[in-house]
């Protein structure tokens, strides 16, 4: 998956590469190459050049766009991508077809699996063998170990469970160009109209080192500003609980949780978040969790490494101020 505005490889895809290389290492001596499909970009595009920097990849398939297909491929429209992946599979017979469990992968991959008449394993968080996977169920309250006996394993991979593949110097890789236009009813019945993307200078929520999330305790959209000052200090991304998004305090793409984004930063600061099961499912793999809440019984404290029972409207500005002072002291000393 490529970000259509920046041509950068999405972190979810880089995590999927790592998961895939864990799978291939377990296949053993057989053919175990990792091939990458990039649809909607030409062979000499920045996206393809970037992909050559992924050391685990040994071949790239490119579907160059035409006027009709460019947006449909770039925005990952399933009715176009799924038959494209299917056709590629029919030619090369892959053992596994893998995508990140982003909204892109979740949208496209079940269509691929159904097209190939096989099951899909969603949200893989662990690879036990080339055909045995771990995945969370019941909002992460249980883990399921599943064996997939289908001739091709179709998987989506949870990006917080795997390190992102580290880009290195570009390799000389075989790039195969394919021209593809689907000949299905579904592909003729879909058109991409528009998107609303909020522009932010902050790091991406799913790859930020520090995430500060706000909940219903912030009371309104305006109050999210107090998180911004703290986020500036820590170079953090800002997230939100489902309650805050439902209440209209912030847009949906900020939601952290089972039905929003899964994050696992080094430091997660939950501010005014009670800690519903479905929120915990999206952040409990964070390395260090801080909770600031005035309710001492809030379930968030049970998973927090450092809990502070306090009024967030006092504690957050104080934290920002103290970090500010400390920074100044550090400069002076």
Least Å distance, CB 324 to other proteins, is 11
224 touches 257 (CB < 8 A): no
Integer Cα distance of 269 and 246 in angstroms: 20
At 7, is the secondary structure helix, strand, or coil? coil
Integer Cα distance of 122 and 99 in angstroms: 10
- Per CB under 8 A, which region of 41-49, 61-69, 97-105, 216-224 contacts other proteins? 97-105
- Per CB under 8 A, which region of 30-38, 53-61, 87-95, 192-200 contacts other proteins? 192-200
At 207, is the secondary structure helix, strand, or coil? coil
**Which CB sits closer to other proteins, 51 or 77?**
77
Residues 289-308 that bind other proteins (CB under 8 A): 289-290, 301-308
* Strands of 57-63's sheet in order across: 34-39, 57-63, 175-177
Interface with other proteins: number of residues (CB under 8 A): 92
Among 172, 179, 194, 333, binds other proteins (CB under 8 A): 194
Residues 8-47 that bind other proteins (CB under 8 A): none
Among 75, 89, 95, 175, binds other proteins (CB under 8 A): 75
Determine if 132 is a binding residue for other proteins (CB under 8 A). Answer: yes
Among 48, 78, 85, 237, binds other proteins (CB under 8 A): 78
Determine if 137 is a binding residue for other proteins (CB under 8 A). Answer: yes
Q: Which residues of 97-130 are buried (b: 16+ CB within 10 A; e: fewer)?
A: bbbbbbebbbebbbbbbebbebebbbbbbbbeeb
The values of phi and psi at residue 80, to 5°, are -100, -45
Q: From the CB of residue 87, how many other CB atoms can be counted at a distance below 10 Å?
A: 15
Site string for other proteins, 262-281 (x = CB under 8 A): ----xx---------xx---
Least Å distance, CB 67 to other proteins, is 17
Integer Cα distance of 48 and 172 in angstroms: 12
**Which CB sits closer to other proteins, 50 or 71?**
71
Least Å distance, CB 289 to other proteins, is 7
Integer Cα distance of 138 and 125 in angstroms: 14
Residues 225-254 that bind other proteins (CB under 8 A): 234, 242, 245-246, 251-253
Least Å distance, CB 277 to other proteins, is 6
> How open is the CA angle 135-140-144, to the nearest 5 degrees?
35
């Amino acid at each position: 998956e490529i970000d259509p505005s920046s041509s950068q490889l999405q972190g979810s895809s880089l995590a999927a590469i790592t998961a895939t290389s864990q799978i291939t290492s377990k296949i053993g001596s057989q053919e175990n190459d990792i091939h990458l499909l990039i649809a909607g970009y030409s062979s000499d595009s920045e996206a393809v050049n970037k992909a050559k920097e992924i050391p685990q990849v040994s071949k790239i398939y490119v579907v160059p766009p035409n006027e009709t297909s460019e947006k449909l491929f770039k925005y990952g429209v399933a009715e176009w991508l799924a038959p494209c992946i299917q056709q590629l599979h029919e030619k090369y017979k892959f053992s596994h077809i893998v995508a990140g469990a982003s909204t892109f992968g979740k949208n496209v991959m079940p269509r691929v699996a159904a097209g190939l008449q096989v099951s899909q394993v969603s949200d893989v968080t662990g690879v036990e063998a080339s055909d045995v996977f771990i995945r969370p169920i019941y909002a992460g309250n249980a883990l399921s170990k599943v064996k997939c006996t289908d001739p091709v394993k179709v998987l989506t991979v949870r990006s917080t469970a795997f390190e992102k593949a580290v880009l290195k110097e570009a390799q000389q890789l075989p790039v195969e160009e394919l021209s593809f236009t689907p000949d299905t009813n579904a592909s003729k019945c879909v058109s991409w109209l528009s998107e609303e993307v909020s522009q932010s200078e902050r790091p991406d929520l799913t790859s930020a080192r520090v995430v500060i999330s706000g909940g219903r305790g912030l009371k309104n959209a305006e109050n999210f500003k107090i998180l911004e000052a703290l986020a500036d200090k820590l170079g953090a991304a800002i997230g939100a609980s489902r309650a805050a998004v439902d209440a209209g305090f912030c847009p949906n793409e900020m939601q952290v949780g089972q039905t929003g984004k899964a994050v696992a930063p080094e430091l997660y600061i939950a501010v005014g978040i009670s800690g519903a099961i479905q929120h915990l499912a999206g952040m409990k793999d964070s390395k260090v969790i801080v909770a600031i809440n005035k309710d001492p019984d809030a379930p968030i404290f049970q998973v927090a490494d450092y809990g502070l029972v306090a009024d967030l409207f006092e504690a957050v500005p104080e934290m920002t101020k103290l970090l500010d002072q400390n920074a100044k002291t550090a400069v002076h000393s």
